Structure 1
Amino acid sequence: MIHLPVPTRGPLRALGVRLFTAVALVLGVVAVVYLDRGGYRDVNGDGITLLDCFYYAVVSLSTTGYGDITPMSEDARLVNILVVTPARVLFLIILVGTTLEVLTEQYRTNARLTRWRKHLKDHVIVCGYGTKGRSAVAALRENGFDIKRIVVVESERGAVRQATADGLVTLEGSATRSSILADAHIKDAKAVIIATDTDEASVLVTLTARQITAGKVRIIAAAREAENAPLLKQSGAHQVIVSSATAGRLLGLSTSAPPLIDVVEDLLTPGRGMALALRSAERAEVGKSPRKVSELVIAIVRHGRVMSLASPECATIETGDLLVYVRDDSPATIDTQPARDHA
């Protein structure tokens, strides 16, 4: 099931409001008729009871009108003109309006779903919306990735509601099923982020994604244990992030070199001061040393391989190189970053 983010109130609440209004109209007409019950005539001639008032209100508002109870006095007829008739019209509007709204909402939802499928391309699929999945989505949004191009696949109902509330298109189901990933248009995706709760699930999702895409879509998977990283790569993951190993290294650095933790947090937290960024080498920079570029370049990505500046191969910049550099990410300079930045 595909959940599109909708900023309106739920259908049950809308129906509840209409039902409450309809009941209030009936009770209002009953009260008016009962107060002036002497002005009404019953064909039985035994007077108008409270039950008769309910009967008259219901058949009048629903336009059934059997005619067995009729207003006789001028006051009763005036009340029918000024109160019962407008209430009847409003009652019909509520009934017809509810039906039309349900049909319109169904049409609107189908139209939005068709439009979404038509324009879905170069998107990122996030499998799992737990702590890791939410952090991955937050990082994408902080780096300017369009939220409309993020699709979440989640089987847990609470996480589905959370993702939808966050404005994300969410597919409810297991990412290990090829049909679910096909509904997410995985073949047209830019990347797949696998952030499931267990390494076993990550392996299954990776195998399924690789089988559908034939390795043409980049797959990034998270692993709890380092021993499972090779298995994920053999399953088709292009990159594996080991959460336990990363956390352990940071804990070790916090003991031996505490300031390095602050630097790492600064680099990973947007808007704090420094941030890692990636951009293509410009034509004027080809043939130059990366150390002479205006930014602080710390690595070069060449033919998909990350190389340190200490390597002799990185003495000069070549055509097609990607430069990894540290940029100023303080709030005062975020809006002035050049459009060439990739991250």
Structure 2
Amino acid sequence: MKLPSRDAMARHADGPGDEPGDKPRADEPPASQRVRLPRKVVERPIRQVVKRLAVALLVLVATALIVYVDRDGYHDNSDGPVDLLDAFYYATVTLSTTGYGDITPVSDGARLTNILVITPLRVLFLIILVGTTLEVLTERTRDEWRLNRWRSALRDHTVVVGFGTKGRSAIQTVCAAGLAKEQVVVVDPSAGAIEAANTEGYAGVTGDATRSEVLKRAEVHKARQIIVAPQRDDTAVLVTLTARQLNRGAKIVASVREEENAPLLRQSGADAVITSASAAGRLLGLSVLSPAAGKVMEDLIQQGSGLDLVERPVVRAEVGRGPREVDDLVLCVLRGHRVLGYDDPSLGSLQLTDRLITIVRASPGARGVADRAER
């Protein structure tokens, strides 16, 4: 796959408005409509309508009974006394604000009841009837309030670009390791993918992640880690370059299909690059040579089941020991910017500033030990 030149990527990553004649696309909706937060499951519309009708009927019956109990304080201009039918008739025309005036309160008690009881019931009745309209009018304000609260509370989150097979699996892995769903923001150009992400409990931004404007709506400048998993390698390079310009300190992990594009991704700012085609091929080859070894490798890359790869700091009780003297099975030691194998002669004893890559049995208890070590 032929990728664009670095100058072209730099111009593209600057976002809309940085180049002459570069304007936002006219078909893009306002920003508030492209950030979608997960919603709680609401009742079906027919059930909501039935409930509102039931409450409205209850208010009508209550008003009629109040009038009937105090019927001596009312006068019917047609036949004088007020019966039960007249009470329901008066309640209907009063609550609907029709008010023909043929039945009127004449006593002080009836008039006081109209002021203190029936008038609030009339207001409640009208609110119930126009509740759907009020809900539509207030929906945008409520969404804006939720969005502003979400933006102010979002810190050190994970941005996932692409909600396909790779992106979804990456999210499941980090969430299995303890990341809360509220700390994940999905960016994808497909509205259907964002809807699926919302259904699973993740916030989503609909748009082209190669544009800085879209990544800013995902608060990428405040993110701790960014997972780049689009369908195309050239898109991955552009997204990585744009994300690195917006956030210099975030950890960026990107996926590409072709091995030859991995160096360009690293030059664009990716901390780690996973070649999906090569990785799948190596796993296939390993499974051919040794099905058991392939099964173990597949188990290791599935977080939360069987065996897990865990990175954790060295605890004080392990300082001064060798990697083989630790309770966990140590594969590598991270010392500064170097990754040292457990049998590296230059490793020596463990230091408090080291970090360990270990294999542990996947269980809540094992994860809790790692979490306590982090703290």
The TM-score normalised by the length of structure 2 is 0.69
Distance 1:159 1:271 in 2: 25
The change in CA–CA distance for 1:271 and 1:125 in structure 2 (over 3 A counts) is closer
**2:289 is equivalent to residue 256 of structure 1:** yes
Match of 1:247 among 268, 276, 280: 280
User: Following superposition of structure 1 onto structure 2, how do residues 103-122 of structure 1 map, counting pairs within 5 Å?
Assistant: 103-122=137-156
Partner of 1:30: none
User: Following superposition of structure 1 onto structure 2, how do residues 110-259 of structure 1 map, counting pairs within 5 Å?
Assistant: 110-213=144-247, 215-259=248-292
**2:27 is equivalent to residue 2 of structure 1:** no
Amino acid corresponding to residue 202 of structure 1 in structure 2: A
CA drift of 1:247 comes to: 0.2
The change in CA–CA distance for 1:319 and 1:266 in structure 2 (over 3 A counts) is same
User: Following superposition of structure 1 onto structure 2, how do residues 4-153 of structure 1 map, counting pairs within 5 Å?
Assistant: 4-9=37-42, 13=45, 17=49, 63-64=97-98, 92-153=126-187
Give unmatched runs, 5+ long, in structure 1.
26-40, 42-57, 72-87
Identity rate of aligned residues, in percent? 45
The change in CA–CA distance for 1:295 and 1:100 in structure 2 (over 3 A counts) is same
Amino acid corresponding to residue 276 of structure 1 in structure 2: L
Q: Please tell me whether the aligned partners of residues 309 and 315 of structure 1 are also in contact (alpha carbons under 8 angstroms).
A: no
Q: Please tell me whether the aligned partners of residues 278 and 325 of structure 1 are also in contact (alpha carbons under 8 angstroms).
A: yes
Partner of 1:167, secondary structure, is coil
CA drift of 1:21 comes to: 5.7
CA drift of 1:337 comes to: 4.0
The change in CA–CA distance for 1:276 and 1:335 in structure 2 (over 3 A counts) is closer
Give unmatched runs, 5+ long, in structure 2.
1-33, 58-77, 79-91, 104-121
**2:339 is equivalent to residue 339 of structure 1:** no
CA drift of 1:201 comes to: 0.6
RMSD (CA atoms): 3.6
The change in CA–CA distance for 1:324 and 1:130 in structure 2 (over 3 A counts) is same
The change in CA–CA distance for 1:103 and 1:341 in structure 2 (over 3 A counts) is farther
The change in CA–CA distance for 1:316 and 1:166 in structure 2 (over 3 A counts) is same
Q: Please tell me whether the aligned partners of residues 297 and 323 of structure 1 are also in contact (alpha carbons under 8 angstroms).
A: yes
Q: Please tell me whether the aligned partners of residues 265 and 273 of structure 2 are also in contact (alpha carbons under 8 angstroms).
A: yes
Amino acid corresponding to residue 155 of structure 2 in structure 1: K
Partner of 2:372, secondary structure, is coil
The change in CA–CA distance for 1:16 and 1:295 in structure 2 (over 3 A counts) is closer
**2:317 is equivalent to residue 284 of structure 1:** yes
Partner of 2:270, secondary structure, is coil
The TM-score normalised by the length of structure 1 is 0.75
Distance 1:188 1:225 in 2: 30
Amino acid corresponding to residue 185 of structure 1 in structure 2: E
Distance 2:334 2:327 in 1: 18
Distance 2:123 2:277 in 1: 66
Q: Please tell me whether the aligned partners of residues 224 and 251 of structure 2 are also in contact (alpha carbons under 8 angstroms).
A: yes
**2:354 is equivalent to residue 321 of structure 1:** yes
Distance 2:366 2:355 in 1: 21
Segment drifting more, 305-314 vs 89-98: 89-98
Partner of 2:208, secondary structure, is coil
Q: Please tell me whether the aligned partners of residues 15 and 98 of structure 1 are also in contact (alpha carbons under 8 angstroms).
A: no
Distance 2:373 2:300 in 1: 15
Distance 1:14 1:211 in 2: 49
Q: Please tell me whether the aligned partners of residues 312 and 370 of structure 2 are also in contact (alpha carbons under 8 angstroms).
A: no
